[in-house]
Structure 1
Amino acid sequence: MPAAIFVVSYLLGSVVMGILYSRARGDDIRSRDLPGGSGTFRQYGRQAAVMVSVLDILKGVVATLLARWLAQGLAPEWTWLAVLGVVLGHCYPVFFRFKGGGGIAPFVGALLPVAPLTILGTIGLALALVPVYKATLQKALKLNAIPFVTAVSLPVGWWLSTRFGGSWEFLAGSAVMLVRAVHLLVRPEGDGAGKA
């Protein structure tokens, strides 16, 4: 059962909506940017970004709800495997040569049913940090906002998870996102990958 939860979640995560949207337009966003919400916004505008983000969040929600259904209440702790799988699939999708997004939207979606206070608190902090960072430190550090905000907000999110639940789920998803952020810093994908 745990292997099935991980594999199904990974395959679900590998359906990267930004890539599918760009291909429907006869393009591949990854040649210029990352296929998440912010990259889609930069390349195709607000409406496309909202649609892609909502769909990527929904696949995270589906992954954890499916894990709960597959376990039928016998092992709720297996939801961390669903979070791990869906975020890993989004970042390194088997259907798209293992070149995907940063994992934020499916991570948010996967934690919403499991630990809503934890993920909403983390998102709130991240959203507050982005404009402050861009206005103060970005020019000096020459580091895009997403990895910086991730590095600052994830430890706070971890602390929130110890208070409001979802510790294992938070740890699983954030570990994949941190690996992906480091990977993107070392080897950026697409000309616009560092613009966020």
Structure 2
Amino acid sequence: MPAAVFIVSYLLGSVVMGILYSRLRGDDIRERDLPGGSGTFRQYGKQAAVIVSVLDILKGAVATWLARWLAPEWTWLAVLGVVLGHCYPVFFRFKGGGGIAPFLGAMLPVAPVTILGTVGLALALIPVYKATLQKALKLNAIPFVTAVSLPVGWWLSMRFGGSWDFLAGSAAMLVRAVHLVLKPDGNGEVKA
């Protein structure tokens, strides 16, 4: 059962909505940006970003709902699978997004206080980072804020639940963040 939970979640995660949206428009967002909500916003505007983000959040929630229904003890594998699938999608040559939206969606049914507290902190930090450190570090807000928010999220998960789920999803996002930092775009900046 654990392998089935992971594989189904991974395949679900591999359906990257930003890539599908861009292909419907006749191009591939990955040539210019990451296919998540923020990249979709930069390339196609607010309405497209909302659609892509909601659908990516929903696929994360579906993965953990299925796991909780079929094998609740393996929910953490569903979180890991859906986030890894989004970051490294089998359907799109393993070149996907950062994993934030599916991680958010996967955690909502499992540990809502944990994930909402983490996201709340991240949203509060973004404008502070942009106003103070972004020019000096030359790194977009998302990787920096993620690095600061995840330890707080881990603490929240220890208090309010979902610790293994949170650890699995944040580990997958950390791998992707490191990959993005080590392989920046042609301008030397990470697009996240």
The TM-score range, normalised by the shorter chain, is over 0.9
SS in 1 for 2:151: helix
- Which of 122, 140, 145 aligns to 2:141? It is 145
**1:1-196 alignment, distance < 5 Å:** 1-71=1-71, 76-189=72-185, 194-196=190-192
How far the C-alpha of 1:194 sits from its partner, in A, is 2.7
Aligned Cα RMSD in Å? 1.4
Give the letter aligned to residue 126 of structure 2: V
Structure 2's unaligned 5+ residue stretches are none
2 CA distance for matches of 1:191 and 1:94? 27
Report the alpha carbon displacement of residue 188 of structure 1 after superposing the two structures with TM.
2.4
TM (normalized to structure 1)? Answer: 0.95
Runs of 4 or more, structure 1, over 3 Å off, are 189-193
Letter in 2 for 1:165: G
**CA distance, structure 2, for counterparts of residue 182 and residue 100 of structure 1:** 14
Shift of 1:195: 4.7
Distance 1:33 1:45 in 2: 13
- Any gaps of 5 or more consecutive residues in structure 1? none
Give how far 1:191 is off: 6.5
Could you say what secondary structure the match of 1:112 adopts?
Answer: helix
Identity, in percent, stands at: 88
Q: Secondary structure at the match of 2:22?
A: helix
Tell me how far apart the structure 2 counterparts of residues 98 and 40 of structure 1 sit (CA, whole Å): 18
Higher RCO, 1 or 2 (CA under 8 Å, sep at least 6)?
1
8 Å CA contact 1:32–1:191 kept in 2: the answer is no
**Structure 2: distance between partners of 1:181 and 1:163:** 26
Distance 1:157 1:143 in 2: 22
In 1, the alpha carbon distance for the partners of 2:187 and 2:21 equals: 19
* Alignment coverage as a number of residue pairs: 192
